[in-house]
Amino acid sequence: MIDAIFFDVGGTILDESREFETWADWLGVPRHTFSAVFGSVIARGLDYQETFRVFRPDFDLAAERERRAVADKPESFGEEDLYPDARPCLTSLQDQGLFVGLAGNQPAHAESILRALDLPVDVIGTSHGWGVEKPSPAFFQRVIREGGGDASSILYVGDRPDNDVRPAEEAGMKTCLIRRGPWGHILDIPVVAQRCLFRIDSLDELPTLVAKHNAGSGSDPGL
């Protein structure tokens, strides 16, 4: 049985396209150029921050975030940046009586924004708030504690096979890989994807798959 479901944030419930565009503008780089470099960095399996260092070798993300805040151009997102299927999916899963949470690598400002969105979730956890980042095993142990303590009853949903699915599997959780956003489309790790309980293209698919799984029907859903 799946009793709790945790979602990654960026690329899973949150469309980061506008965020990437504002970073390109901040760096004075054409948006299509920034996107091309970003995709190349992901395809090579590098940390996404290497994208910024291509254009500015001494780039420091924390310091640059402070500069943007001082310039009144901080990173931000809102309801318009949520994927259209995110809120309905979260609502439907809660309606099934499931414990629903968010748990992702997010900076300090993001947690307050997520809370202000009043999403239908039971818990919101961020790397800044928890003091540990994915793919650290400690991050996923925190997810397990927040989700009731039984890893086998928790489903973790994310767009990254490396940062989301693989470490969640290693922690004993069930996993769902959603194929969207840069990582979902570019970073392909077949051996990881094949072990997922579900593989989906939209969160619209998830509530039905979970309900069928919990009802004991559909022995190989999502494939």
pLDDT at 74: 85
**Is residue 28 one of the residues assigned to a domain?**
yes
Q: Whole domain around residue 47: which residue ranges?
A: 17-70
pLDDT at 141: 98
pLDDT one-digit tens code per residue, 84-95: 999 999 999 999
> What's the order of all strands across the beta sheet hosting 174-178?
123-126, 99-104, 4-7, 154-158, 174-178, 198-200
Would you give the DSSP letter of residue 98?
A: -
The reply to whether 94 and 203 lie within a common domain is yes
**Is residue 30 one of the residues assigned to a domain?**
yes
**Is residue 156 one of the residues assigned to a domain?**
yes
Whether residue 109 contacts residue 76, with contact meaning beta carbons closer than 8 Å, is answered with yes
The reply to whether 26 and 106 lie within a common domain is no
Between CA 152 and CA 170 the distance in angstroms is 11
User: Could you say which residues of the chain have pLDDT below 50?
Assistant: 218-223
| Domain end point (choices 27, 42, 70) | 70
The reply to whether 8 and 43 lie within a common domain is no
Q: Which two tokens stand for residue 172?
A: 């004993």
pLDDT at 76: 87
Phi, psi of 168 (to 5 degrees): -65, -40
The reply to whether 84 and 106 lie within a common domain is yes
Q: How many independent structural domains does the chain possess? A: 2
**Strand positions, DSSP E, the chain:** 4-7, 99-104, 123-126, 154-158, 174-178, 198-200
Between CA 103 and CA 164 the distance in angstroms is 10
Whether residue 3 contacts residue 150, with contact meaning beta carbons closer than 8 Å, is answered with yes
pLDDT one-digit tens code per residue, 49-85: 999 999 999 999 989 999 998 998 888 899 999 999 9
pLDDT at 217: 53
